[in-house]
Amino acid sequence: MEWFSDIKNSKIDLSIIIPMYNVEDYIIETLNSMRGVRGFKVELILVDDGSTDNTLNLAKEWANSSDFDTFILSKRKWGAINSKEFRFK
């Protein structure tokens, strides 16, 4: 399991979990849409299920250039249900 974290703020109002698997064609558009969230300190939790394309690299590049606190968890065969629930354990 690999973690990537780019913490910018310590007070978070809203956590958004985004599961990812081979979505290089639209992950940047999805992440850019988060910029429309206003009035909250937001953290993004990106859960990559072992993508074999460029999804993970694109997400890391985006996280480095964004103002959001961003956590990226990458693990092969995590599964959709587990990727949404891991944060709450």
- State both tokens at 85: 């629930």
- Please, which residues have CB within 8 angstroms of residue 15's CB and are 6 or more apart in sequence? 42, 43, 44, 45, 87
Has residue 89 been placed in a domain?
Answer: no
Has residue 88 been placed in a domain?
Answer: no
Domain count of the fold of the chain: 1
Has residue 84 been placed in a domain?
Answer: no
Has residue 23 been placed in a domain?
Answer: yes
Has residue 15 been placed in a domain?
Answer: yes
Has residue 33 been placed in a domain?
Answer: yes
pLDDT at 27 (0 to 100): 98
pLDDT at 2 (0 to 100): 57
Specify the 3-state DSSP secondary structure of 7. Answer: coil
Has residue 85 been placed in a domain?
Answer: no
At 63, which CATH number?
3.90.550.10
Residues of the chain where predicted confidence (pLDDT) is lower than 70: 1-10, 77-89
